[in-house]
Structure 1
Amino acid sequence: MEREFDIVIIGSGLGGLQCGYILADEGYSVCILEKNRQYGGNLQTFVRDKKIFDTGVHYIGGLDEGQNLNSFFKYFNIMDDLKLQKLDEDAFDLISFGEDENVYPYAQGYDNFIEKLSAYFPEEREAIVHFCDTLRDIVSKFPMYSLKPDKVDDQYFETLQIGLIDYLESITSNKKLQSVLAGNNLLYAGRKESAPLYVHALVLNSYIESSYKCIGGGAQIERLLSKNLKAKGVVMRNYAEVTGFNIEDKLVKSVTINGGEEKVYGKKFISNIPPAVTVNMIDKSFLRKSYIKRINSLPNTPSIFILYGVLKEKTFKNINSNIYHFESDSPWDSINYPEDDFGNGFALFFNKDAKNPEYCDSFSLMTYMNFSEVEQWKDTFHTIPHHRTERDEEYVKFKEEKATVLFKKLYDRLPEMEGCIQSYTTSTPLSFRDYIGAVEGSLYGIEKDYRNPLRTFIPPQTKVDNLLLTGQNLTLHGILGVTISAFITCSSIVDIEKILEKVNAQTTSN
């Protein structure tokens, strides 16, 4: 008789790992299945020229004592072992535009945030204070962000229907301040016409509270979680791609592994892969056509191209801030970049040299890329060391041409970096599609739209009774958003109030 697990989790992204921990801690037998060699989804890292690069986790907020992610991570028993570097408290993010010589800082701590920005906009101090008050007010309407059970009311739904740009225009007529306050919208792929204020608030609030980098990369979060999962008896399998759900009597009985004869049996199943990918693996006779159509019609956020650079030793002074740079006066143009102006807005993340801490040893430059740019290679698939389809010289040339464009833009923004590059590599939307499983390499999953917020709201429950969803497509993307989604998913199985009491105990006991 095949072993039947209480819980089978498909995908080992952060949400899958966290669901595994929550449920194993409550006594459930858990099996986590991962298609790649590395666990962790967007927590994965890779090494080039002996330098570690993050694929997704460039910085994390809310980690100071008493803050929400700090308490969540203590519950998962990983907080004390994380190796962290606090970003510049006066400028965790630097926002810059085209010909404007000013570089606008986002500071940690709300009072500090107000003071630092007001120095550039002294006549707009009231608007900046209003902005900060609004962020905190919105966050208070999302109970799980305050470690409380997820109960919603009319105010919550009203909050979902406010557009970021509408709000900014209501508090100030100063176009530059509007642009600065929306300056890191690449963190959620915001579009001017549809970006919700609540998404901006939930993302930015966390970083204003505190901003950290993971020294040596975000994969340490996965390693610590995996160690704790195994200690709780969780079975973790890599190279185990789920290729089908086997349903009897309207319940999933097992999943098929790697398209073969092997099956893994369970009582309940949690999918940590995109909802559309999940739904399309289920026999359509078990789902309503309207449900399938809705899930498949939801728009995804665009993908990205990343330039990873290794720097010559002791050539470029470390910048303990992230840079968001736009060639125009607007932070909204880069997501809709014209074909002849690729990379007209980008984010830049630096890694400190451990041996020479005043210097930077590597960086990642991230900019939008539409999947249409790599459409001609969509039938190829490439992960290391598994499932390799060689891509042609034209693909290599394509990446080199894009990198050349970005280096020019990088040197325009930071001329002192020219001559410091030792080597580089790149990733495209195909990389994110193949390694992460994201639809067309989508950066943050399903795109939120304040004009129709419930359309993109996906509950953890599916139309198959014992199949749940988790991950960045539910509440919100990012480390904090996915963590909260994991708790919401598990609330369908365990008493979430009891679990949150354990989380809150981490805050009060320290």
Structure 2
Amino acid sequence: MVIAIIYLHKFCNPGLGVGLVQISSPTNGVLLILCMVPELINLPQHLKKIISGFTTNKVPEHLDAIVIGSGIGGLGVASILAKTGKRVLVLEQHDQAGGCCHTFTEKGFEFDVGIHYIGELQEYKPFRHLVDQITDGQLQWASLDNPYDMVVLGSPENRREYPIYSGRKRFTEELKKHFPEEKEAIDKFVALVKKVAKGVSFMAVLKMIPMPLAKFLICSGLLRLFSPFYKMASRSLTDVVSELTSNKELQAVFSYIFGTYGVIPKDASFSLHSLLVSHYLEGAWYPKGGASEIAYHIIPTIEKAGGAVLVRAPVQSILVNEAKEAYGVTVRKGQEEVHIHAPIVISDAGLFNTYESLLPKEMQSLPAIQSQLSMVKHGEAGFSVFIGLNGTKEELGLTATNYWIYPENNLDELVENYLNSSKEDAVKLAPVVYIASPSAKDPTCEERNPGKSMLSLITFTRYEWFEDWKDERVNNRGEEYKNLKESFVKNLVDAAIEIFPRIKGKIELVEAGTPVTNQYYIAAPRGEIYGCDHNRSRFNPETSAAIRSQTPVKNLFLTGQDVFLCGFAGALAGALTCGSAVLGRNLHLDLLRLKIRLKTTNSKKNS
């Protein structure tokens, strides 16, 4: 018998796990063995870096810390610690590092899954300095078009488009062209947004000062007195914009970006909304080379200090000793459990996963842990559609502008009706559709994918609509699941064709991810995109102070968006807060000092 061994690599097809071995039945005396083993393939260095599979011999000795999860919160804090000489091991359950910063490729089309646009990346901004620090300045960014967002209200027969421009002056000027009778309301809105957003620094303060002092600031009223952010945190977005204007259309335009944190305006904190509007006010950017460049440029910093980032390493539990101190983790490797020890354990797996799944049962019941869990709830689940197109962005009319589509301007009512409907009715009601083209945003995409373009579409769904299939095998969940998914897909694709009519007839590939897809690939407990729900109660000062990087379990820390805020910037702020707790120093202040030092140095050079 002839044995033919064929090594395959299907890098990002979610259906086939890397490492899978398929053996065919002998045919004509030939036994075919198909091995998905990326380490044995001559892969580009870029891919090797982010898909290094877990084996015990790759675990560094004398670890200083273990990080569970390789989202930007996990990679960020690992890089920060590595900068101080710490040897850190990052463990990722998926088959590539990056969490929501990863990309996947199918039939020659490359898609981002969570990085769509990022603000505050001007060279003088502290956030830019942080990103440059954790990537050693190697990550490059491309500006989106201006307008960077387009708000679309109404049905196709009665569509109204409102471009959102970057630059505070341009932002207000363009809105006033569409709402000439609302100039005062627009000015007040922008001024209030800027004022409230500046007060977010007090969130970092609350999470790092001793708890008795935090309680004193809250109970005495001093916090709300000195922080506009916490003064407005309990006010809903709907209430505030209604006070500014009675124009329903302008209220919707003021509120449109609620989709970036997943809470409808009447339940959303105006303070959080102010942060998001302010975050993009001076522009929006996208990583050159795609979202996977983020992990690719962070990992060398971790490795340089003797650490490692290993994938296909599902952490089963956090090891806790009799003194209630975390001292390592267990990783499932085939049918075995591997114990890895370190004096510090950091979780980027999210509050619910960490407290309800990874900790031993006796630790889960601790009053302090139950108290934190009672303060938050799961966020809404997401539904994504990825469209592969034949043609360049010029041929298809695609631009580096994000589209936010709403059937009407009554946003609260639209979303509430949708989320309270049955899954059969929900497929007809999509109250918000986000559409963007990663290929149009990335100037290097044409080099990697000549003649091809991509669109990403996102809306919200209820986890309960797909929950019945959570335990079924990926890509084998049955006809009912497939039909439900395709019903959502059809309506979302139709919405994309309405915006970009030239893509009709050019669609080669359509893939979709449901809440149970998110549950499987990014370990989101209920398919949520933004972790813990970002409703108003999340921004109570008491909640902000209680949910911090330090946990009730000694040597166990939290990082990422559940610590601070959602999204790339919010998760990195969580990493900075976590690094501060681990190292015992205020890294937020260090970042501000770095900004001042660099600004002074540049001024001297220019003079």
| TM-score clears 0.5 | yes
Aligned to 1:172: 245
Out of 55, 63, 86, the position equivalent to 1:5 is 63
Aligned to 1:319: 399
Aligned to 1:330: 410
Unaligned segments of structure 1, at least 5 residues: 383-388
Q: How much does 1:358 deviate?
A: 13
Aligned to 1:466: 555
Structure 1 residues 74 and 145: alpha-carbon distance in aligned structure 2, compared to 1, 3 A threshold: farther
Alignment-mate amino acid for residue 430 of structure 2 = G
CA contact under 8 A between 1:312 and 1:420: conserved in structure 2? Answer: yes
> Secondary structure of 1:57's partner?
coil
Find the aligned partners of 2:204 and 2:120 in 1 and give their Cα distance: 11
Aligned to 1:257: 331
Aligned to 2:362: 285
Alignment-mate amino acid for residue 580 of structure 2 = S
CA contact under 8 A between 1:317 and 1:359: conserved in structure 2? Answer: no
Find the aligned partners of 2:251 and 2:205 in 1 and give their Cα distance: 31
Larger CA deviation: 264-273 vs 210-219? 210-219
Alignment-mate amino acid for residue 432 of structure 2 = G
Aligned to 1:85: 142
- For residues 27-426 of structure 1, what are the structure 2 equivalents within 5 Å? 27-79=85-137, 81-89=138-146, 91-99=147-155, 100-143=158-201, 153-154=223-224, 155-156=226-227, 157-248=230-321, 249-258=323-332, 260-280=336-356, 281-297=358-374, 298-314=376-392, 315-336=395-416, 337=418, 338-339=421-422, 340=425, 341-350=428-437, 351-352=439-440, 354=446, 361-380=453-472, 382=474, 390-426=476-512
Find the aligned partners of 1:468 and 1:47 in 2 and give their Cα distance: 34
CA contact under 8 A between 2:249 and 2:409: conserved in structure 1? Answer: yes
Aligned to 2:51: none
Structure 1 residues 37 and 360: alpha-carbon distance in aligned structure 2, compared to 1, 3 A threshold: closer
Aligned to 1:490: 579
Q: How much does 1:139 deviate?
A: 1.9
Alignment-mate amino acid for residue 277 of structure 1 = N
CA contact under 8 A between 1:60 and 1:212: conserved in structure 2? Answer: yes
Structure 1 residues 159 and 283: alpha-carbon distance in aligned structure 2, compared to 1, 3 A threshold: same
CA offsets 1:193-251 (integer angstroms, 9 cap, x no match): 31001111111211112201223321101100012221222222222111112211110
Larger CA deviation: 288-297 vs 208-217? 288-297
CA contact under 8 A between 2:560 and 2:571: conserved in structure 1? Answer: yes
Alignment-mate amino acid for residue 25 of structure 1 = K
Larger CA deviation: 404-413 vs 65-74? 404-413
CA contact under 8 A between 2:65 and 2:89: conserved in structure 1? Answer: yes
Find the aligned partners of 1:445 and 1:59 in 2 and give their Cα distance: 18
Structure 1 residues 394 and 288: alpha-carbon distance in aligned structure 2, compared to 1, 3 A threshold: closer
Alignment-mate amino acid for residue 345 of structure 1 = V
Q: How much does 1:486 deviate?
A: 0.7
Alignment-mate amino acid for residue 578 of structure 2 = T
Find the aligned partners of 1:36 and 1:228 in 2 and give their Cα distance: 21
The TM-score, its normalising length taken from structure 1, stands at 0.91
Find the aligned partners of 1:106 and 1:322 in 2 and give their Cα distance: 10
Find the aligned partners of 2:171 and 2:208 in 1 and give their Cα distance: 29
Structure 1 residues 23 and 148: alpha-carbon distance in aligned structure 2, compared to 1, 3 A threshold: farther
CA contact under 8 A between 2:364 and 2:370: conserved in structure 1? Answer: no
CA offsets 1:127-177 (integer angstroms, 9 cap, x no match): 111111112111211228999997783333323222211111111111111
CA offsets 1:106-139 (integer angstroms, 9 cap, x no match): 1111111001111001111111111111121112
Q: How much does 1:321 deviate?
A: 0.7
> Secondary structure of 1:243's partner?
strand
Structure with larger Rg: 2
Larger CA deviation: 412-421 vs 227-236? 412-421
> Secondary structure of 2:64's partner?
strand
Find the aligned partners of 2:598 and 2:296 in 1 and give their Cα distance: 21
Kindly tell me the number of residue pairs found equivalent between the two proteins: 501
CA contact under 8 A between 1:6 and 1:266: conserved in structure 2? Answer: yes
CA offsets 1:248-295 (integer angstroms, 9 cap, x no match): 111012211117341111111111001111112222323544444445
Query: Which structure is higher in helix share?
Result: 2
CA contact under 8 A between 2:530 and 2:566: conserved in structure 1? Answer: yes
CA contact under 8 A between 1:20 and 1:32: conserved in structure 2? Answer: yes
Larger CA deviation: 178-187 vs 498-507? 498-507
CA offsets 1:345-390 (integer angstroms, 9 cap, x no match): 20000122626999981101111111112111011354xxxxxx73
> Secondary structure of 2:496's partner?
helix
Unaligned segments of structure 2, at least 5 residues: 1-59, 210-216, 218-222, 603-607
Alignment-mate amino acid for residue 348 of structure 1 = I
Find the aligned partners of 1:108 and 1:22 in 2 and give their Cα distance: 31
> Secondary structure of 1:165's partner?
helix
Find the aligned partners of 1:26 and 1:223 in 2 and give their Cα distance: 20
Aligned to 1:385: none
Q: How much does 1:418 deviate?
A: 2.4
Alignment-mate amino acid for residue 482 of structure 1 = A
Alignment-mate amino acid for residue 246 of structure 2 = S
CA contact under 8 A between 1:71 and 1:506: conserved in structure 2? Answer: no
> Secondary structure of 1:332's partner?
helix
Q: How much does 1:41 deviate?
A: 0.6
Larger CA deviation: 112-121 vs 489-498? 489-498
Q: CA RMSD in A?
A: 2.7
Larger CA deviation: 319-328 vs 399-408? 399-408
Alignment-mate amino acid for residue 261 of structure 2 = Y
